[in-house]
Amino acid sequence: MASPFLPSSQPPKGVPSHVAIVMDGNGRWAQKRWLPRVAGHKRGVDALQKTVQCCLDRRVSALTVFAFSSENWNRPTEEVTGLMELLVMALSREVPNLKKHGVRLYFPGNRSQLSARVVQGLEAAEADTAGNNRLALNVCFNYGGRWDVVQAARRLAQTGREITEQSLSEATALSHVGDPDLLIRTGGELRISNFLLWQSAYTELYFTDCLWPDFDAAELDKALTDFSGRQRRFGQTAEQSAAGEPLDAAEQRHA
């Protein structure tokens, strides 16, 4: 379990503190251009790099992205290998820059199925950026929401700790940040695809047809503007919520 992320500043009012993104549509972006799918994934890394900068500029404290799901092993071997290679390459290219900009990297996911070389890359990047506190960048790699709940429950069983909402939250792979306020999915599909099942109980959802390699500052701002107009009620009535009545302890924890 990673140590808690304590951001250096809070976002302005109406800006989500924690944004999560299902970066979908790389394959279709490439296919539309008669390029191999992996070319779409490469452009996806560029889109991520720009999105990180936008989140820093807008003072978002945590960005959690879905880079490789537990189910993505079902893809052709050459695509899976290409994605692993791209991760290693992107780390060597981007970490110095991320470090300079105050970004702390985390890689929530099941590492036991990854090669030693990939694990080494993830561990080195986490260690290298551990002193940063402007933005937590969680790159979920070989992550699945179901895997996360199971590994958290196993961890609690091993320690004998009582299972409560609080203790289970603390045992998940994203315990170092709060639950996401806004979850964006690009690529037009209207599903969660086993992303943050536990953590997104009260997350605002935003879907766009924009393919991930085309995602830019304007697209992010559309999602942020949409979010700023939402009323988050956490089970209260609209009137209670507008009056700012306190939530009970459990809801407050997820707010």
Q: Which amino acids are annotated catalytic?
A: 24, 72
> Given the complex with ligand IPE, which of 5 and 68 has the nearer CB atom?
68
Which is closer to Mg ion, CB of 41 or CB of 104?
Answer: 41
Binding mask 183-202 for ligand IPE (x = CB under 6 A): ----x-x-x-x---------
Among 5, 66, 106, 198, which residue sits at the site for ligand IPE (rule: CB under 6 A)? Answer: 66
Phi, psi of 114 (to 5 degrees): -95, 155
Measured CA to CA in angstroms, residue 145 lies from 26, 78, 209, 254 at distances of 21, 25, 23, 17
Shortest Cβ 253–ligand IPE spacing (Å): 27
181 belongs to the binding site for Mg ion (CB under 5 A): no
Nearest residue to 106 via CA among 61, 154, 157, 58: 61
Q: Is 57 exposed, middle or buried (0-12, 13-18, 19+ CB in 10 A)?
A: exposed
171 binds ligand IPE (CB under 6 A): no
Per-residue string for binding with ligand IPE, 83-122, x by CB under 6 A? x---------------------------------------
Query: In the set 51, 64, 69, 208, which binds ligand IPE (CB under 6 A)?
Result: 69
What 3-state DSSP class applies to 118?
A: helix
- The DSSP output letter for 75 is S
- Give CA separation, 113 vs 55, 79, 105, 124, 173, in Å: 31, 16, 20, 18, 16
Q: Which residue is nearest to Mg ion (CB)?
A: 24
Residues that bind Mg ion (CB under 5 A): 24
